[in-house]
């Protein structure tokens, strides 16, 4: 949501601490912020070059598929990291903060790259920019993870098994 404080914080951190340095070293890059058209984000983007901010879009999948890298610079908040799972499912390699993938069964270096400071975040992005093979490998591993652990049919099966176990425990003395 464009009004959710952790998303606004992430966008502004990206726009003020990471993007200017990354863009100075890679001026051909374009940053697209999807569903984040908010006055605070626009204010953070005032000096940023080659930044595209979209208002609400009906479907984010085309943006993930178009992206060379999906970024999740989350520094606050909680809950399931659906944006990362969506990026994984779409085949986009991800760079995230550790908080961004908290609670997900991911391994940095296998499913995504991580950085918790601007320097580390930029270094992770640059590793992916320099290596199409690494981008491909991370995307394949992440997509396999989503299919194995986070697909709705898998989640429903797991819940069904859990409810069955609970039901049997109540019936057995």
Please indicate, yes or no, if residue 158 is contained in any of the structural domains. no
- Residue 53's pLDDT is 94
Checking if the pLDDT of 124 tops 90, the result is: yes
Q: Count Cα neighbours of 36 within 13 Å in the Cβ-side half-sphere.
A: 23
Please indicate, yes or no, if residue 153 is contained in any of the structural domains. no
Total domains present in the chain:
1
Please indicate, yes or no, if residue 110 is contained in any of the structural domains. yes
- Residue 81's pLDDT is 79
CATH of the domain at 81: 3.40.50.2000
Please indicate, yes or no, if residue 64 is contained in any of the structural domains. yes
Checking if the pLDDT of 158 tops 90, the result is: no
- The pTM is what? 0.85
Q: Which domain holds residue 62?
A: 5-148
Mean pLDDT, rounded, of the chain: 89
């Amino acid at each position: 949501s464009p009004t959710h404080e952790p998303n606004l914080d992430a966008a502004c951190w990206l726009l003020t601490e990471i993007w200017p340095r990354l863009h100075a070293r890679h001026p051909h890059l374009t940053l697209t912020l999807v569903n984040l058209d908010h006055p605070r984000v626009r204010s953070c983007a005032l000096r940023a070059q080659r930044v595209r901010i979209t208002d609400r879009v009906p479907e984010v999948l085309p943006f993930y598929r178009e992206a060379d890298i999906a970024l999740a610079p989350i520094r606050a908040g909680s809950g399931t990291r659906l944006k990362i799972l969506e990026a994984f499912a779409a085949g986009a390699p991800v760079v995230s903060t550790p908080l961004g993938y908290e609670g997900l069964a991911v391994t940095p270096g296998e499913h995504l790259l991580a950085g918790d400071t601007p320097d580390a975040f930029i270094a992770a992005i640059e590793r992916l920019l320099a290596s199409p093979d690494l981008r491909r490998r991370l995307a394949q591993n992440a997509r396999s993870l989503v299919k194995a652990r986070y697909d709705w049919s898998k989640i429903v099966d797991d819940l069904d098994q859990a409810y069955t176990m609970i039901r049997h425990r109540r019936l057995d003395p």
